[in-house]
Structure 1
Amino acid sequence: MFTFPILAVRKVINRGIADAAVNGGFRNPYYGTRPGEGEKPGLWLVGDQGVYIMSNGKLAEGFRALLVYAEQCHPKGDVDWWDYKRRHFGADDGIEFIEWERLIPLFDRNLGATHLNVELTETDIALSLITR
């Protein structure tokens, strides 16, 4: 399971939408192998050096996407980040797309929640909210 502050997730989504408006749409997380899939408002859950979410709006030349690391899996703060990533995301690098239509209504119905939990299963991405 990976945990992210809801305020940070909202910032990532908003940044992706803003980047898309200025730069012509959303990026394809599948490097063009699945045209049209994932080219909509959302965020990417990325397993790489740690696990993080990032915005998916197209970027201007030289600009970087906004990203936020999972509380459990930041390579500069968690000494066991690699083991945690391998156990909960897998050993390989990868990207999972999460549509903002799944997130924003969830956040708006649960205004007291402070954090988003993301859990990957063999076939699905499970989302839940917690309050700290």
Structure 2
Amino acid sequence: MQRGHSARSTGDRHVAVNTRAPFLLVGALAPGMTERGDGVIVLVGSSAARMPAPVGAAYGASKAGVEIPTRYLDHRVRPRGCTGQHRLPGPGPHRGHPGDARRTHRDARPDQRPRARRCPR
């Protein structure tokens, strides 16, 4: 947590960016798309919404707040020629994350390294 930020303000920021902003954008864009009868609204979720962890509860909860509304959105706009989709891109390669692109299997402990698979002949 950054200096000067309380857990409450951090949670508020997560909800503002990850839940409220998409909700407001959809509300602004969907009417025009449904009038034209064409369009796809894609909202980005996170696996953090489905897999609780010891840290990151505010982030996970804010992303969970996108998934169910997207299902309702799809149900509402589909008869008008549009779709609403929710995507889970998975972990990204950023510093310190287990999916960090700079890490290789050589950096892992031997018991964490991927095992070689034999190709069937």
Structure-1-length-normalised TM-score: 0.24
Relative contact order, higher structure (CA 8 A, sep 6+): 1
Structure-2-length-normalised TM-score: 0.26
Larger strand percent: 1
Larger helix percent: 2
The structure with the largest alpha-carbon Rg is 2
